């Protein structure tokens, strides 16, 4: 089956990338650092800007801005997942599944991911809020400021949020996102 992906060179996209069977693999600093290393290695050869991000134990949300004339986020995600899987010591604990044996794939990541083309400033804002509120939504933190694997503190330094944004509150950030 061929999946249709949005093609919009130079645009901003929201992504949700999930681990295979929602295994909680991003629970220690070394594993999170390896994911960041994978992203930086891919950015070196295929630049893109991460505008917002959060790394949770079993999934990642990111907003990427692609360079003008370049809409190839699929190759970037394939390279990030591959880099991480080849270097992560825990991947040997995840044997290939029957459906992945033909390609020799380890079952570390779900094959597909969810993407959304950001349409305008209001859409961008909703997704940035969604990313930063996600650890609270999943019961991992009492406030966005309490979750360290997030771009939230960068946004606080830029004056986009106050440090206590939605602290102690239950909020709806205005949307539901696929693959949650």
Cβ neighbourhood burial of 162 (10 Å; 0-12, 13-18, 19+): exposed
Q: Residue 99 — very low, low, confident or very high, per pLDDT cuts 50/70/90?
A: very low
Structurally, the chain folds into a number of domains equal to: 1
Report the pLDDT value the prediction gives residue 3, as an integer from 0 to 100.
Answer: 56
Residue 114 lies in a domain: yes
Residue 173 lies in a domain: no
Residue 116 lies in a domain: yes
Q: C-alpha 78: how far from its chain's center?
A: 13
Residue 26 lies in a domain: yes
Report the pLDDT value the prediction gives residue 145, as an integer from 0 to 100.
Answer: 96
Residue 106, CA atoms < 13 Å, CB-side half-sphere: 17
Report the pLDDT value the prediction gives residue 111, as an integer from 0 to 100.
Answer: 83
Residue 137 lies in a domain: no
Q: Residue 102 — very low, low, confident or very high, per pLDDT cuts 50/70/90?
A: very low
Q: Which range of residues forms the domain containing residue 47?
A: 12-120
Q: Which CATH number does the domain housing residue 60 bear?
A: 3.30.70.1290
Residue whose tokens read 């949307």: 175
pTM reported for the whole predicted model: 0.87
Using one digit for the tens of pLDDT, what is the confidence trace for 137-159?
999 999 999 999 999 999 999 99
Using one digit for the tens of pLDDT, what is the confidence trace for 1-52?
555 567 788 999 999 999 998 999 999 999 999 999 999 999 999 999 999 9
Residue 129 lies in a domain: no
The partner residues of 18 in beta bridges, in order of sequence, read: 59
Report the pLDDT value the prediction gives residue 70, as an integer from 0 to 100.
Answer: 95
Using one digit for the tens of pLDDT, what is the confidence trace for 72-91?
999 999 999 999 999 998 87
Residue 49 lies in a domain: yes
> Is 155 within 8 Å of 166 (Cβ atoms)?
no
């Amino acid at each position: 089956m061929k999946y249709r992906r949005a093609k919009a060179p130079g645009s901003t996209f929201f992504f949700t990338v999930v681990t295979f069977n929602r295994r909680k693999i991003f629970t220690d600093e070394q594993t999170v650092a390896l994911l960041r290393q994978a992203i930086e290695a891919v950015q070196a050869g295929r630049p893109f800007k991460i505008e917002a991000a959060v790394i949770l134990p079993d999934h990642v949300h990111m907003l990427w801005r692609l360079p003008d004339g370049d809409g190839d986020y699929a190759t970037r995600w394939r390279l990030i997942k591959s880099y991480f899987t080849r270097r992560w010591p825990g991947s040997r604990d995840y044997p290939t599944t029957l459906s992945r044996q033909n390609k020799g794939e380890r079952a570390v990541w779900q094959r597909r991911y969810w993407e959304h083309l950001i349409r305008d400033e209001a859409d961008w804002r909703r997704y940035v809020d969604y990313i930063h509120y996600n650890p609270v939504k999943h019961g991992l933190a009492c406030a966005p400021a309490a979750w360290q694997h997030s771009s939230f503190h960068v946004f606080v330094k830029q004056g986009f949020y106050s440090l206590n944004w939605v602290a102690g509150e239950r909020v709806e950030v205005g949307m539901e996102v696929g693959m949650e």
